[in-house]
Amino acid sequence: MPLDGRTQTLNRLFKDREALDVVDHTLTQLGQVAMVSSFGAESVVLLHMAAQVDRNARVVFIDTEMLFPETLAYQTQVAEALGLTNVDIIRAPRAAVFERDNENLLHLHDPDACCHLRKTEPLDRALRGVDAWITGRKRHQGGARAALDLFEVDRPLGQLPRIKVNPLAPWDSDDLRGYIEAHNLPRHPLVAKGYPSIGCVPCTSPVGHGEDQRAGRWRDQGKTECGIHFGADGVGRST
């Protein structure tokens, strides 16, 4: 069955199912799968679900080498706490960073290029050959994410189409907080300091009362996505 038809069928079948059911089906029935995790503010929810299904599930963590020290420590803490045995830590090649950002200042004058170098390109390489990948995107985050389906067709440039899975698409902040509390999961230490969405140090700031939870990402730059969720045409999309 073509992927478009397959994802439509999956969306019908799992419309009213639990997120854990979506994760279970993805990890056990969709072939070679990777879960991409930032080990950020809410990442522990999906990681906990993956650990319940298969602790050896492949988890891809992009180390941009510009992350908060707290994020790096949290990545180790969560992986150990959940018993995840297959965390694939990826980085941009040293030669590419030296050539294009040898002073680590690219983010100041071209944040899109910085994200492409340090996040999009490494992830493109890491996902070559996978049949499906799992993300933590949610509709309540707004923007292009507001119309997310559970299952989408991802068409990466120069690669075969694959399935992109968003098990937490219908969840809101209360759902996430309730799950974390119910399972006594460790929180990212920066959440308590006003960081509901956490990326690289230079491009992440605390969020004020009443602001959107992603307002602290690329503040005042007119940028809302790092690029790993863009289509082959470079435009942010949800399908």
Q: What is the pTM of this model?
A: 0.90
Q: Is the pLDDT of residue 175 over 70?
A: yes
How many Å is the maximal CA-CA distance in the chain? 50
Mean pLDDT of 138-152: 80
Summarize the confidence of residues 94-110 as an average pLDDT: 95
More confident of the two residues 32 and 233: 32
Q: What is the pLDDT of residue 139?
A: 87
Q: Which residues contact 207 (CB under 8 A, 6 or more apart)?
A: 194, 195, 196, 197, 213, 215, 216
Region 3-185: CATH code: 3.40.50.620
Helices 44-53, 19-29: crossing angle, 10 deg rounding: 50
Asked whether 163 and 132 are in contact (CB, 8 A), the reply is yes
Instruction: State residue 133's pLDDT score.
Output: 98
Segments of the chain assigned E as strands = 33-36, 59-62, 87-90, 132-134, 151-154, 162-165
Rounded-to-integer distance, Cα 163 and Cα 39, Å: 22
Does 198 score more than 80 pLDDT?
yes
| Distances from the Cα of 89 to the Cα of 39, 106, 117, 152, 163, angstroms | 11, 22, 16, 25, 22
Residue numbers annotated as active site:
226
Q: Which residues contact 31 (CB under 8 A, 6 or more apart)?
A: 130, 131, 132
Instruction: Report the pLDDT value the prediction gives residue 55, as an integer from 0 to 100.
Output: 98
Q: How many CA atoms lie within 13 A of 232 on its CB side?
A: 10
Contact 38, 136 (CB under 8 A): yes
Q: Summarize pLDDT for 146-160 with one digit per residue, the tens.
A: 778 999 999 998 889
Task: Show me where the domains of the chain are located.
Answer: 3-185
Task: Tell me the Cα Rg of the chain.
Answer: 17
Q: What is the C-alpha to C-alpha distance for residues 37 and 61, in angstroms, rounded to an integer? A: 5
For residue 207, give both structure tokens: 């969020």
Region for 234 from its dihedrals, namely left if φ exceeds 0, alpha if ψ lies in -120 to 50, beta otherwise: left
User: Is it the case that residue 1 has pLDDT exceeding 80?
Assistant: no
pLDDT in tens, 39-81: 999 999 999 999 999 999 999 999 999 999 999 999 999 999 9
Q: How far is CA 91 from the centre of its chain?
A: 15
55 Cβ contact list (under 8 Å, min separation 6):
82, 83, 84, 85
Q: pLDDT-derived band of residue 144, with 50, 70 and 90 as boundaries?
A: low
